[in-house]
Structure 1
């Protein structure tokens, strides 16, 4: 039985500032660093022997993984970085204060942009302040200008199925450090969560979700390692 651990990055600077972050590259706060350290300590204490790690190309997730691996004394693990695991692109909302945006556009509209499954926010204008299109990390890619959760899933899951699922089926233990929405996409698929339910599933920062999978990648058990900060896990 393979184990898959999902870690949402520790608290970021824009989490703290209540701003839409998406593909913009922000760092961890001191609290985020502490959450990453605790994640690594819990994973070390679990005794699980991990075979490989995957992470997005965004700094907050990369640093979370580095810190956790240091605490686990497993910095030698093979690590694959890939943009398919990036956070959802928040389009024209990127960088905006969430409360101010709700005051301007109305709470109901912002809630639709944030939490509907298939309605994306307004697209980002090319050349806007937080446009990642010219970032060397994305050279040659058709960078999205906005994404719904559905569109996020449509880039995350083909990558997961091609690169990560075969390792799990080979009984390898895998660690993924990523983001609220890219991990929500994986949870939706593995736990077979309905479209209208997944938008309400909260994934806490810096709290590893340990999932036991059978040979067909069916979930046998799942639990957050820090019970005091756990959120509800979809039934399986």
Structure 2
């Protein structure tokens, strides 16, 4: 039985390019982001991978990435389920700020704490712990059961919502997962055992 789970962070967005805290705002992909998503799809096609279902967030940068990947692997009509449970971390009062401007306004140390601590949220926003508490119940209820019954599942989402999933899959601590960088548009391929443990992992970041 092929218990396949592929996670991919969306391609570069317009706000990634401008170095802005994005969160739940909805900028489009850049031309580079489109290319990254298509390249991710080509890598999956080279491995001969296809899917039974795809999940994505309520945000267009993840949805477009998902669609571009499915186009590249020849499955443009695959069912795609979108849910805000998979949205990026909400950056609260930091949303829309340039990261350099935020450091000037709040202090470099404080911004570093908000970005890189597991459980300290920015004002009005979510910590990674908060994000995990939103993402993981949805994953365990809606996505993991489908993988465990043998469906091949693609999840196109965001750096922090995917960190939450990776933390659970790889049994990482909060301190370990905040150090994990995820390349835009680059799939991570997991094959799971019947107990939901990792049997094999391929990170397709080149």
In the alignment, structure 1 residue 117 sits paired with structure 2 residue 96: no
Q: How many angstroms does 1:75 deviate by? A: 1.1
In the alignment, structure 1 residue 182 sits paired with structure 2 residue 182: no
Aligned to 1:23: 24
* SS of residue paired to 1:5: strand
Aligned to 1:196: 175
8 Å contact kept, 2:11–2:29? yes
Aligned to 1:223: 202
Q: How many angstroms does 1:83 deviate by? A: 0.5
Please list every run of 5 or more consecutive structure 1 residues that lacks an aligned counterpart in the other structure.
Answer: 124-145, 229-236
Aligned to 2:52: 51
Per-residue CA deviation, residues 140-197 of structure 1 (Å, 9 max, x unaligned), is xxxxxx1100000001000000001110110111000000000000000010101111
Q: How many residues align?
A: 205
Runs ≥4 residues deviating over 3 A: none
* SS of residue paired to 1:68: helix
What root-mean-square deviation, in Å, do the aligned CA atoms of Structure 1 and Structure 2 show? Answer: 0.8
* SS of residue paired to 1:164: helix
8 Å contact kept, 1:171–1:215? no
Aligned to 1:104: 105
Q: How many angstroms does 1:198 deviate by? A: 0.9
Q: Normalization by structure 2: what TM-score?
A: 0.97
Q: Normalization by structure 1: what TM-score?
A: 0.85
